[in-house]
Structure formats: C-alpha cells, structure tokens
Chain A
Amino acid sequence: MNTEIIGVVIMFLATIALAIPLGKYIGKVYSGDKTWADAIFNPIDKIFFKASGINPLKEMNWKQHLVALLTLNALWFLLSMFVLMNMAWLPLNPDANPSMSADLAFNTSVSFISNTNLQHYSGESGVSYLGQMVLMLWQFISAATGMAICAVVFIAMKDKSTESLGNFYNLFIKSCTRILLPISIIIAIVLLFNGTPMTFKGKDQFISLQGDTVNVSRGPAAALVSIKQLGTNGGGFFGANSAHPLENPNYFTNVIENVLIILIPIAMVFALGYIIKRKRFAWLIFGVMTVGFLLLLLPSIQQEMKGNPAIHRMGINQHLGSMEGKEVRFGSAASAYWGITTTCTSNGSVNAMHDSFTPLTGMFAMLGMMINSFFGGVGVGFLNFYIFIIIAVFISGLMVGRTPEFLGKKIEAKEMKIAAIIALLHPLLILSGTALSSWLYAHNPTTYAAWLNNPGNHGFSEMLYEMTSSSANNGSGFEGLGDNTPFWNIVCGTIMLLGRFLPIIGPVAIAGILAKKKYIPESAGTLKTDTGTFGIMVFAVIFIIAALSFFPALALGPIAEYFGIR
C-alpha cells in the first residue's frame, strides 16, 4: 500500500487507541473518582479554592453553571481587550510589535475566548510575546470551559432525577490541571526536541548563501503549539500556522500534532460512556461520528492524491497529487487528513493552504465545519451532537408510537423549542453572514475589490468558508480573503460569539430540564438509543438539517468550481 495512506491509517488508529484509555481517565476525573494525578494536583487545587473562597463541593443547577461560565468568560474578554490594545508598551515585546486596533482586538479576543482562534493578524508581527502568552492562556481556558460544560451535560444524562449537576469551578479547574496541562507539558517537550523554539529572545538573524540578511521570528512557541492542538484551538504562533517549519518541523511532529487534534474530541465520547455507564451508547455515538468523518475524509484524500485536473491538462506531472499550497515534507494524503480533522473538530490549525485544496476537498472541509459535530471541538462538539440526538429521538419516538424519551426522560415542547433554535442557528449565522458579504460585494464591486483575490465561484467559497469557520468556532481560513477590515473583524467576531455561547446554553438548558424530570425505567416499548438503527436516524437528521441546508450555497461555490474545472 501507498506509504502516504499507511501514514494516515496509522495516525487515525493511534488516535483511537489513545482516546479509549484517555476517555476513561477523563470520565474518572469528572466523576470524582481517584486518579494518579490527585496526589500532585489536589494540594494545588486546594490553594486555588481557598484563595478564591470557592467551595468545590457546592452543587449547582444548570442555570448557575451557565451564569458562572458566562461571567468568567466576560471577565477574560475584558482582560484580553486590555492586553491586545496595549501590548506596544507592555513588557515582553522584544520585536516592538504594535498594539491592535479596537476592531482587530475585539475579533482576536472573541476568537480566542470562543476557542475559535480565527486570526486576522500574523503572529510574527501582530502580537508581542505577552500577547502570545495571554492568547495561550485563553487556549487553556476556552478548552477547559468547553470540557467542563460538556461534563455538566454528561452528569445531567445520568439515570436519576436531580437538579444538582456538580460544581462548575471544580470541573473547570480539573479540566485544566488533570487533563490539558499534563498532556500539553509532555507534548511541548517532544516538540522542543524536534526543533520548535521556546525562548523569550527576539528575532534571530542569519546571512544566507546569497548574502542576504534573513530575520527569523521565534519565541515561546512549543508551549503554545501543544495546547493549540490539544484544546482544538488552532491559533498558530506564526502566521503560516502548522505549515511553518518551526511549528511543525517534520513528519513525526505532524503525526503527533494531528493525533492531538482529534484526541480529546474522541476521548470525550468514551468519557460519556464511563460517566453514564452506557458503553454501548458511547460506541454508537463514536460509530456515527466516525462514519460521518470518514465520508468526508476518504473522498478528500482521493481528490488530493489524484491531483488537479486543470493542472493535469497543462501537461504537468502530478504523481505526488495536488501539491499546490502543500508542504513537501507532509505530502498530499497527510495534508488532506489534517485538513479534514482540523475542520471536523473545530481546531482550525492548518498544515496546508485550504484555499488551494481541490474544490471538493474544500467543500468537505466546509461540511466538516457546517456539521461541526463529527467529533467537533473539545466538549462543545458533543453538545452540538446532543442537539441532533434530541431531534432524532423525538422523530423516532414518534415513529414507534411512543411519546419520545431519551435516557428515561420525556422530551416535550420546551426541549424541542430549544433544540430547534440551536439547530437552525448555525445555518442562520453562516448563510446570512455570507449573504451580507455577497450582497455588499455584488452591489459595490469596486469598494470591496480588495476582499477577494479570486472572484467567481472560488471567491464565493472564500467568503462562505470564513463565515463557516467563524460560526463553527474553527478558526481556519480559506486565505485569499482580505479579512483584516472592520467589516470582517466585527461580523466574524459577532458570529463567533453567537456561534460559541448559544450552542452551549441550549444543550445545557435541555440537559438541565431533562435531568429534573421524572426518570422512566426502560420497558420493551422503549426505543433503545444504542442500536444501529437509531445511529442511522441520527445520521439522517444531521445530513438533512446540517448538510442539506447548505446545498444551494455549496452549489454556487465548490460544486460549481468542481464541474467547471473537470
């Protein structure tokens, strides 16, 4: 078999092999069971809790959880705005990079706090080391926020009627100290040995063979790169992100980083199985997510390895596949694999230019973000999937002649209302955002000429991709889009905010309301949610709601482009 494909298979299998035990470990952490890390971190946690006056054993209901989450995030947002708009005079700025404009700072702050990491700036020249480190802090915090609130939903799904769903601060701190921090430290050290820099010194210089002086940006990159991948953040230290040789020096680091991208999103599914004691159900969710993921991945790899028909017609040999915008050290298969994993998981780091993918791969990358729940972002990916489960349970419950119930709780009008709103939010944000930019561009082509490097179908894809990436909290870009303008900064910032917090509030509210309801034991008439048939149902719901509503838009972008160059 082709070595490139073997590389991809190994990456995927290694991820699953690691995710299963990690999932169990995460389950233990959130259930409050004993783990090896307790001995090290319990004393540290205690100091935090004592200093802040928080009682980690105080149980919260779903509303209190959301209040805690939103308040904390609002405070972090303000702090982030302050640092980014004042980095010029703040310490740790050896390269004398300037402060950000208000609209860019807004976009960047929202982007990092919402776990999106959309970057309308370039790391080398746009932020100081202090800025980088603050952003890195958000990479921990936003990932831990998503995981903690997902844990709240897990707890709510247990077989009982309760209002107390754990303590948010406790779950949040534990997400950081027990899961994100230990793995990040190990990976950062591995990256360090492979050549990723970790220093506070400013730019380095060397004189090339041609005699030119070359400036090389560096900084505390290894630490940031590990959490950016682990926490599905994706915001790179350098502008070229993981295609940059200092962020992702070789094929080995590429494997490690790519495993990290989907490690926790998969592990969270197994953590669910551990917490609610329904392993079969967890495997079913894993199965549905994997099938969806593979349906996006396999044709993408095929398309990239086949090469671009337009280049083929020019008589250029493409035995390496479509290599435009890709790194030779990774190759076309691994780049396609990264492209799909990073979009399916809302990570958004890139090791190749998505703009240069063949049209269908670009579409599959967009679909990954539009669906946003084939693994999805850490914690929040499952929350998106949860909404689809609720809708699938409702329809299939009706199909077997029983008022729908999910894990022993009846689903009624109130839950359906929330689920319907959240399900239509994503199409609303993406389509109306793209509609707005298309309308502006179509009616004032000269004013907005700088937006698009490629007009026509591809230009449309660029705009659609940017809006999708913002709404899905992904953060990758189709590039080729002149996006550091007040319009894109503010619109994308707003979409990221809505696309982050509403899909957290909705599922938590549903789970909280369901948790309070009376528990109905299973009988022979109860629809089992851990069967293949139900899996097909969930898949169909995702396909029809999340994928088909984008069909007309995709037809004008990548599909038209595909038929155009064929």
Chain B
Amino acid sequence: MAKQSNKLFESSLVNEALKQSFIKLNPKTMFKNPVMFCVWVGTIVMAAVCVWIAMGERNQGSLVYNIIVTAVLLITLLFANFAEAIAEARGKAQADSLRKTREETPAKWIQPVGEIYTNEVKIVPSSQLKKGDVFLCETGDVIPMDGEIIEGIATIDESAITGESAPVIRESGGDKSSVTGGTKVLSDRIKVRVTTEPGESFLDKMIALVEGASRQKTPNEIALTILLAGFTLVFIIVCVTLKPFGDYASTPITIAAFISLFVCLIPTTIGGLLSAIGIAGMDRALRANVITKSGKAVETAGDLDTLLLDKTGTITIGNRKATNFYPANGVDTKVFIEACVLSSLADETPEGKSIIELANLDKKTFDTTGAAFIEFTAETRSSGINLPSGIRVRKGAADSIKNIAERAGNPFPAETADSVKTIASNGGTPLVVSQNEKIIGVIELQDIIKPGIQERFERLRKMGVKTVMVTGDNPLTAKFIAEKAGVDDFIAEAKPEDKMNYIKREQQGGKLVAMMGDGTNDAPALAQADVGVAMNSGTAAAKEAGNMVDLDNDPTKLIEIVEIGKQLLMTRGTLTTFSIANDVAKYFAIVPALFIASIPALQGMNIMKLHSPESAILSAVIFNAIIIPLLIPLALRGVAYKPIGASALLRRNLLIYGLGGVIVPFIGIKLIDLLVSIWF
C-alpha cells in the first residue's frame, strides 16, 4: 500500500459516504450520539409540525418556512453522518488496500503425522490454514498467513506492506522470526507456523476498529460525551422553560423557533464530528503504517511522558562503523590497512564489513587459500586469520590484544595507548590490531548518530516527553552518545529486565511510558509499558504483548505516534471550544427574534441587525448546519500540533478556536441573513 493518495475527498469514497449518511439516520445508530439524537428528535417533531400546518393549523408560521427549517435540520443530521461516514470510508479504503495483499493464495500445508511434521506438502487455500498449522514457503512464494518461522532463513520482500523495496532477512529462532501474510519470499525456503486464527490477525482487528463494528469509545471520548450531554441538558432546560416564560409575557413562541433555538445551542458541531475525529486518528496512525489494537492506545500516546528508545537503529544508524585507521609508529599505513582487511575478510559482523568498506581495497587481490580464520569468542575477545605464509593477524579489544603482545614480549606502544584512550572518550570503540603478536595500530569504530535526531529529541522535550536511550554499551560510551544525541537519560549495559525495571519505576512516579521492541525477551516490558510498539518483524510474543504494531519496523516511529495522539486530543478540544463559543452569537440572533413581536423594545438587543425574526432563526440554523461540513477537513486532518509548551499552545488555540468561535458565527449569520432576507 506504499503511498496513499492524500486527497481528503475521493469521489468513490464520497459516494459511499453519501449513501452511509442516509443509512445512519436509523434511530438505533443515532441514539449512540446523544447530541445528534436530540437533533434527530427535533427533525421528527418539525416534520410533524409541517403536517399539522398543512392540515390547517394557523399559529405556527407559514408552511414554507417550517418546511425549510425541517429541511435544514435534516441536512444538519446528514452532514454529521457524512463526517463519520467519510472518515470510516477513508479508513476502510486504507485497510482494504492492506487486505488486498492477503487475498486467497495457495499455501503449501505440511501435513502432520501424529506429532511429527513430515515433508509431505499439500496445496490448500490460505483461508483453510488454522492457528498452529505449519506451511512451507520457497523462492517466489507469497506467504499465505502471518506466522513465525520455525525452520530456515529467507530473504523476503515486504514492500507490499511497508512500501520499502529493500528485501529483509527473516530467520527462525532470533528476534526476526516473524513473517506477514502477503509478503514474498525472494530466496531460500522456510517453514512457518501460523500464529493467528483466520480473521484475527492484527490487520483484521484494525479493520474492525475502523469499521465501527468493535469500536469502543475511549475513556476520554466518554468523558467528553458526558460534558456535551451536560451542555445539551442545560439547553433543554433553557428551551423548555421558555414556554411558560413566553406565556407569562403573552409572547407566543412557535415550535419551529423553540426547536431552532435548541438545535443551535446544543453543541452539534462537535457532536457531529466527534466520532469522525476518533476514526481519523486511527486512520492517521494507519497511514503512518502503524496498526493500533485500540483507539485508546493512540490517545495514550498523546500523553506519554517517557520514551524508551533502543540506541541501535533509533539514535544511531545500524551498527558501529569503522571511521579511522591509526597505524603505530613505524608501521606503513598501507601495510596496516591490508592487515586490517585480511583479519576482517571472514568477519561477517557489521563492524568487520565496515572495516573492508573503509579500507576500500579490492577483496580479490587478497589470496586466502589455505588460511585459517580465527572466530571471535567471548574468552579471547579477538578474531583474526592465520595465513599459510605464517602471518598471524589478530584484532580485538585493547586489553586482550595487549595481553597477546606482552606474552610474546612485545611492548604496547605509547601512541597506541593514547589513541585507544582518545577513541574511548569520544564514545568510539577502539579495535587494536596485532601482526605476529606485534601491535601495529588501532581501528576506530564509531556510532553514527542519525542526522536530524537531535532536533527530534528537542521537539519531544518541548512536548514534555523524556527520552531514554537503551544500550548494551558501557556507561562511558553510553553517556557520550546520550549527550551527543541529546537524550535525557540512558540505560547502559542494559539487560531485558533493566528495561522492565525502568518502566515500572517511571510508572510508579505516575508517568506514562512507551517503548518499542521486537524480541521475545522484550515482551514483558512491551506489555508493561503504557504504549508498547512491536515491530512487525518481531516475534509473535512481542507483537502479542504490545498494543501497536509498526509495519515499517522503524524505531523512530514512536515520535510520530506521540504527535498523532496529541493531534487527536487537540482536535477534539478545539472543536468543542469552537462549538460552544458559537453559542454567544446564536443567542444574540435567536433570543431577540423570539420576543421582538410582543416586546418591540428588545429590538435594541438585535445587535446584528438581522432582517426579521424568521430570517434570524433561519440564518442561525443554516449556519449551524453548514459549519459541520466546513470543519470536516479539519476533523480528518487534525489540528496542527506545535511543540511550543502547553500554555502557549492553549493561548494559541484559545485565540483561534475560542475567539474565532465567538466572532465567526456573528459574521456568518449576518451574511446568511442578507441572503435569506430576500425571501423572509
């Protein structure tokens, strides 16, 4: 699903949403939204009033006027339904494109004979695979179901899911053992055990969430609904009591006026857009290639206080890289570099590869026939090569190579010792190289901090989020990198339980913690964290424990997730403020209109100088209706988040949506009145 169109209203989606807007008029659906349900009831009452007038009632105003009011109320409802429907349609379209990747594919099912899996393969449709089944995938096969590799290693093209074209390696046993349905095996063969029942994969859950089948209101949404219901109740009281007040003042008030006043006062703008905002939040997460297991997780992300980030891949690019060669005095640089390359030829570690890369020499010029490679072990803490010519090259940690040299009676040169010190204090790792037990120089390995990462941490700090780097490095190196990258804290020489303890400690202090992980040993910490983002490449256990899955396996994704969460909450808050602030103007439009006929003195309150009571009431309800579709783009895109501190943000939003919410309807209602006054 690589890139999605960013257009808000695609015509196919709009058509579907329009259809849904009418279907959603079903009172059972409407009842879930108390504010809009009130409008629904109002529309029904107005329809009845129209019939009543058609049958001869004289005191409720003209039939045309009443029909127009009824129509505007109906349109208000349709607009609100449309907002929800378009958000759903967009989410669904997004999910559908994901789902396409996992259409029926033939699966090579391995039949178990009793407890033993044989090598006999039977071709079955992917939909028949159940949890626990094992299937085989070979070069060129599309993986039929989500699962975990139990045997083998393969390169896989995951571009169908992530949009990233570079193939990835997945193998059994490690932390990268997970495969996703719809991706393609490029080479080798693997045996995979199915980890989910059909229809229960994360993607299926996500689709159900967006479609509303299992969408539950988040705690925050519930609290807001209660507040909005409270406002609605206040305005019910205001409007109902107006009847006896009118009786006392001998002012007959038409049913149309009552219902218009009521519908205008209750917060229909936010009420109509509320569910659209929530769906759009999940949709934005999905656009960022993050599958959320609940809407709550997105909201919680906006509240995070602490982020635990793995150093490797998040803060630094992949692994350490060789950045410099420091030959010892009297050793020719070229000779030294050749020795370094020789020792690294068989070294498959990223560090080893980077040495060859840095040396930039043609591998083929080296003849290693008959050479013996010495593997790295934890005891020797060095690796190297023994050539048939008798040359022995070793590279490794400073003290282990020093031992080798000193045992053979060779000194450890002072300049080498200096280099080692300088490199370590700069956050690098020194690799000392010896040839025939004689020190010939040092290779500097450095962590490369991702470009732009400092700015991102600065942004997080302004949001009030603390960043913690988790690394296996020693505290000295960790501290150096932490300072350079601008993280607030670090956990050095981290073991999996250290992460867990850190999370628990932060949570005890009342903080919300997020972490990202992929390994099985990350699973407990992922479950403990308030927001646990599992990488899609991670083990099934990790994915089960977290509450989000990142399809891109991008460790910096957490930062985006925080912003999406904040945006979601902010959009709700600002539109609530806007909706309530609108009431000031609506009061000034409708209240004088109600009483002017019997108390002409109240003309002084008609500060907008609206044309007539009818035009004033119509203008207010029309404004109330059209503001909903005008705000749909904002609801779907979300209010822009700026990390400028909470107070400055409040000031900004209060100015735009609060003050704006007071002023805009004055202008809007007046303009509509100018139009409406042609007829009324």
CB distance from A190 to the nearest CB of B (A): 45
Q: Does B429 contact A (CB under 8 A)?
A: no
CA distance A50 to B507 in the complex (A): 45
Given contacts A519-B510, A531-B647, contact A417 B226 (CB under 8 A): yes
Q: B646 to A524, Cβ gap below 8 A?
A: yes
Instruction: Give the most central of A428, A435, A534: most B CB within 10 Å.
Output: A435
A38 to chain B, nearest CB (A): 36
CB-CB under 8 A from A540, the residues of chain B are: 581, 658
A528 at the interface (CB under 8 A from B): yes
Known: A435-B245, A544-B584. Is A524-B461 also a contact (CB below 8 A)?
A: yes
Q: Of B25-33, B85-93, B215-223, which binds chain A?
A: B215-223
Complex CA–CA separation, A545 to B602 (angstroms): 23
Decide: A402 and B601 in contact? CB cutoff 8 A. no
Q: From known contacts A520-B510, A533-B651, infer whether A403 and B247 are also in contact, taking CB-CB under 8 Å.
A: no
Contact present for B647 and A536 (CB under 8 Å): no
Chain A contacts for B237, CB-based, 8 A: 424, 427-428, 431-432, 549
Q: Is the CB of B605 within 8 A of A398?
A: no
Name the residue in A436, A524, A527, A536 with the highest tally of chain B Cβ atoms < 10 Å from its Cβ.
A524
List CB contacts (< 8 Å) of B540-584 with chain A: 565-570, 572-574, 576-577, 580-581, 583-584
Q: B235 near A438 (CB under 8 angstroms)?
A: no
- Whether B359 is near chain A, meaning CB under 8 Å from some CB there, is no
Known A-B contacts A413-B219, A526-B646, A548-B584; A563 and B602 likewise in contact (beta carbons under 8 Å)? yes
B462 within 8 A of A: yes
A552-B245, A563-B605 known; A398-B646 Cβ under 8 A: no
- Interchain nearest-CB distance for B349 vs A (Å): 40
Interface positions of B from 66 to 121, Cβ below 8 Å from A? none
A521 touches B510 (CB 8 A): yes
A420 lies within 8 A of chain B by Cβ: yes
Per-residue A-contact encoding for B222-240, CB less than 8 Å = 1, 0 else? 1110110111011101101
Does A113 have its Cβ within 8 Å of any Cβ on chain B? no
**Cβ of A421 < 8 Å from any Cβ of B?**
yes
Residues of B near A544 (CB, < 8 A) are 580-581, 583-584
User: Does B249 belong to the interface (CB within 8 Å)?
Assistant: yes
- Is A443 located at the chain interface by the 8 A CB criterion? yes
Q: How far is the CA of A540 from the CA of B650 in the complex (A)?
A: 13
A residues near B651, Cβ cutoff 8 Å: 533
Nearest CB of chain A from residue B487's CB, rounded to whole Å = 15
Question: Does B465 have its Cβ within 8 Å of any Cβ on chain A?
Answer: yes
CA distance A443 to B247 in the complex (A): 8
Most buried by A among B234, B235, B250: B234
Kindly supply a per-residue 1/0 record for chain A positions 332-371, scoring 1 wherever the CB is within 8 Å of any chain B CB and 0 otherwise: 0000000000000000000000000000000000000000
- Do A401 and B565 have beta carbons less than 8 Å apart? yes
Given the known A-B contacts A412-B219, A436-B244, are A560 and B647 also in contact in the complex, defined by CB atoms under 8 Å?
A: no
Give B38 Cβ to nearest chain A Cβ, in Å: 15
Given contacts A443-B247, A559-B602, contact A548 B654 (CB under 8 A): no
Choice from A400, A408, A523, A527 contacting B466 with Cβ under 8 Å: A523
Measured CB to CB, the nearest residue on chain A to B248 is A438
A7 interface contact, C-beta 8 A:
no
Name B631-666 residues within 8 Å CB distance of A: 641, 645-647, 649-651, 653-654, 657-658
Task: Tell yes or no: A82 within 8 A of B by CB.
Answer: no
Is the Cβ of B235 less than 8 Å from the Cβ of A521? no
Q: Is the Cβ of A401 less than 8 Å from the Cβ of B641? A: yes
B518 within 8 A of A: no
Residue of B227, B247, B466, B584 near A442 (CB, 8 A) is B247
B595 proximity list for chain A (CB < 8 A): 555-556, 560
A560 touches B601 (CB 8 A): yes
How far is it, in angstroms, between the C-alpha of A520 and the C-alpha of B601 when the chains are bound?
55
Mask, A408-426, CB within 8 Å of B = 1, is 1001110111011101100
Q: Is the CB of B573 within 8 A of A395?
A: yes
Residue picked from A400, A520, A545, most chain B C-beta under 10 Å: A400
**Quick one: CB contact mask for A210-254 with B, threshold 8 Å, 1 for yes?**
000000000000000000000000000000000000000000000
A553 an interface residue at 8 Å Cβ cutoff? yes
Given contacts A435-B244, A521-B509, A424 and B234 within 8 Å (CB-CB) = yes
Q: Shortest distance in angstroms between B82's beta carbon and chain A's nearest beta carbon?
A: 24
Q: Is there contact, CB below 8 Å, between B235 and A549?
A: yes
Are A394 and B601 closer than 8 Å at their CB atoms? no
Q: Are A552 and B591 in contact (CB under 8 A)?
A: yes
User: Closest approach, in angstroms, between the C-beta of A260 and any C-beta of chain B?
Assistant: 34
- With known contacts A395-B576, A413-B226, A528-B647, A402–B569 Cβ distance under 8 A: yes
Asked if B302 contacts A403 (CB within 8 A), the reply is: yes
Complex-state Cα separation, A396 to B14, whole angstroms: 33
A417 to B219, CA, bound (A): 12
Closest to A417 in B: B226
Cβ-based interface call for B241 (8 A)? yes
**Chain B contacts of A68 at CB under 8 A?**
none
Whether B238 lies near A427 (C-beta < 8 A) is yes
Whether B233 and A424, one on each chain, are in contact in the complex, defined by CB atoms closer than 8 angstroms, is yes
Decide yes or no whether B629 CB sits under 8 A from chain A.
no
B376 interface residue per 8 A CB criterion: no
Given A531-B647, A533-B650, are A403 and B299 neighbors across the interface (CB < 8 Å)? yes
Q: Decide yes or no: A438 and B247 within 8 Å by CB, A394-B223, A524-B462 being known contacts.
A: yes
B594 within 8 A of A: yes
- Known: A403-B299, A442-B248, A537-B650. Is A525-B463 also a contact (CB below 8 A)? yes
At the interface, yes or no: A488 with Cβ under 8 Å from chain B?
Answer: no
A426-455 near B? 1/0 per residue, CB < 8 Å: 011001101110110111000000000000
- Choose from A439, A524, A528 the contact partner of B463 (Cβ within 8 Å): A524
B587, A551: Cβ atoms closer than 8 Å:
yes
Q: Are B602 and A552 in contact (CB under 8 A)?
A: no
Say whether A439 contacts B247, CB under 8 Å. yes
Does the CB pair B223–A518 fall under 8 Å?
Answer: no
The reply to whether A398 and B248 form a contact with Cβ atoms under 8 Å apart is no
In the complex, are the beta carbons of B650 and A400 less than 8 A apart? yes
Q: Check if B158 is an interface residue, CB within 8 A of chain A.
A: no
Contact B569 A398 (CB under 8 A): yes
Shortest C-beta distance, B530 to chain A (Å), equals 11
Nearest-neighbour CB distance to chain B for A537, whole angstroms, equals 6
- A545 (CB) vs chain B CBs: closest residue: B234
**A403 near B241: Cβ-Cβ < 8 Å:** no
- Tell me, rounded to whole Å, the shortest Cβ–Cβ distance linking B673 to chain A: 19
Q: How far is the CB of A425 from chain B (nearest CB, A)?
A: 10
Q: A168: which B residues are within 8 A, CB to CB?
A: none
Bound: A98/B241 CA distance, A: 39
Contacts of A548 in B (CB 8 A): 583-584, 587
Option from B233, B248, B645 in Cβ contact (under 8 Å) with A460 = B248
Is B242 at the interface (CB under 8 A from chain A)? yes
Write out the residue numbers on chain A whose beta carbons fall within 8 Å of the beta carbon of B234. Answer: 423-424, 427-428, 545, 549
| B510 surroundings in chain A (CB, below 8 A) | 408, 518-521
Please tell me if the beta carbons of A420 and B226 are within 8 angstroms of each other in the complex.
yes
Cβ–Cβ < 8 Å partners of B645 in chain A: 524
* A contact residues around B603 at 8 Å (CB): 563
- Contact: A533 with B245, CB < 8 Å? no
Sample of 22 A–B contacts (CB below 8 Å): A394-B227, A398-B572, A398-B574, A399-B657, A400-B646, A400-B650, A400-B653, A403-B303, A419-B230, A420-B227, A439-B248, A442-B248, A443-B247, A457-B249, A518-B510, A524-B463, A525-B646, A540-B658, A551-B587, A551-B591, A560-B602, A563-B601
Q: Which 3 A-B pairs have the closest CB atoms?
A: A525-B464, A398-B573, A420-B230
**What residues of chain A have their CB less than 8 Å away from a CB belonging to chain B?**
391, 394-403, 408, 411-413, 415-417, 419-421, 423-424, 427-428, 431-432, 434-436, 438-439, 441-443, 457, 460, 518-521, 523-528, 531, 533-534, 536-537, 540, 544-545, 548-549, 551-553, 555-556, 559-560, 563-564, 566
Apart from the given pairs A398-B572, A398-B576, A443-B247, 19 other A-B contacts in the complex at a CB distance below 8 Å: A391-B227, A394-B223, A397-B569, A402-B303, A402-B569, A412-B223, A413-B222, A420-B230, A424-B233, A427-B234, A432-B237, A442-B247, A457-B249, A523-B464, A531-B647, A544-B580, A544-B581, A553-B245, A566-B604
